[in-house]
A and B are shown apart, each in its own frame.
Chain A
Amino acid sequence: MTTNGPRVPGTTLLKIARLLVNDHLMATVVQPTISDLQREISAAGPRRVARLRAQWRGYCAFCRVIAAAPFAAWSRPTESAGAVAFPDVVARLGVGSIVVALVAIVGPMLGPWVAVIIVAGMLLAFGLHAWYDRHPSEIPTPDEPPCQRRPQINFSCTEVAGNIGGLIFVLGSVLIIAVGLPSVIWFLFAATAAGCLVAWGLVAWHASRPRRGLPENLIELR
């Protein structure tokens, strides 16, 4: 495939498929489908109508393959039974669609503040995710999980380090509650200020006595 020659049909489809399906499905399902498309277009020769018909059939087949790919349970026969058969992008699209559908259904019943809180929460989540992508956590992993419950549904199990990510988390949480409950905004600001003071005092105390009472698993002083 050279860059100067004519464009090989199916190149874009191949790029799209690489984003959506795993390597095994690519090799066994997607590539043969695109190969068929290329053969048919090649066999159609210079006849425009025949080429268009071949393209249409090939694109329809590609769409069906992509739609069926997540349900192809045999796609990773050598991996564990719990493995997801399609890559992260499809999972994110699925979760995103569910969230959008829920917001569309429930949103009108709850008023505009809910939308503001949702947007603020999403921004906070994106901010946190971006921060931890660039600054991977250096929190030591304990041999046994400290909490058997799933952190996604149990806020007390969520580990937040004492770094800028933790600060974003705290300020974002305060901001979301402040936007959602404007009547308690002064209480929140006072609590945040008091919390910062207590934290500063704890940091100073631990810094002066490095071997006493410092939690070894979570807080990292920077």
Chain B
Amino acid sequence: MTQPLPKKERLILELLVSEGPFYGLQLVERSAGALKRGTVYVTLGRMEAKGLVESQQEALPPGGIGLPRRIYRPTALGERMLRAWTAFARELAWEMKP
């Protein structure tokens, strides 16, 4: 994968790796305004298609109403991608230090 990791995807991966797994709404709440509830699932869907995260539909409790939620967790590829990107960003910052 040669494309850079977009900012929102990096943030989601950081949250999921450090504190996850999370539901989409929990990610929005913990992102301090960086993620919006109208677009977080579009980003998560794109990340799932890339293989960076995986999701599972929760089981509704007996008698529960409404739609089941999806819980998201990072994949091994997602964790590796985040580590590589963090190392790259750190190295780049060190190189550019005056």
Interface, chain A (partner B; CB < 8 A): 1, 5, 8-10, 14, 25, 28-36, 38-40, 42, 57, 60-65, 68-69, 72, 74-75, 77
User: Would you give the 0/1 interface string for B63-78, flagging 1 where the beta carbon is closer than 8 Å to chain A?
Assistant: 0011111100000000
Say yes or no: B65 contacts A1, CB within 8 Å.
yes
- A28–B48 contact, CB under 8 A? yes
SS class, residues of chain B in contact with chain A: mixed
Task: For the complex formed, measure the closest distance between the CB of B44 and the CB atoms of chain A, giving whole angstroms.
Answer: 8
Dominant secondary structure of chain A at its interface with chain B? helix
A32/B24 contact (C-beta < 8 A), A68-B39, A74-B46 known: yes
Q: How many angstroms between the C-alpha atoms of A40 and B26 in the bound complex?
A: 12
> Counting CB contacts under 8 A, is B92 at the interface?
no
Q: B52 to nearest A CB, angstroms?
A: 12
How many A-B residue contacts, CB cutoff 8 Å? 76
* Chain A residues, Cβ within 8 Å of B67: 10, 14, 31-32, 34-35, 38
**How many B residues touch the partner, as a band?**
20 to 34
6 closest Cβ pairs, A-B complex = A64-B38, A38-B66, A74-B49, A35-B67, A61-B38, A61-B37
**CA separation between A184 and B19, bound complex, in Å?**
78
CB neighbours (8 Å) of A68 from chain B are 38-39, 42
Contact between chains at B38 and A60 (CB < 8 Å): yes
Please name 28 pairs of A and B residues whose Cβ atoms are closer than 8 Å in the assembled complex, sorted by A: A5-B65, A8-B66, A14-B67, A25-B45, A28-B45, A28-B48, A30-B41, A31-B67, A32-B67, A33-B37, A33-B41, A34-B67, A35-B68, A36-B24, A36-B25, A38-B66, A39-B69, A42-B66, A60-B38, A61-B37, A61-B38, A64-B36, A64-B38, A65-B39, A72-B42, A72-B45, A72-B46, A74-B50
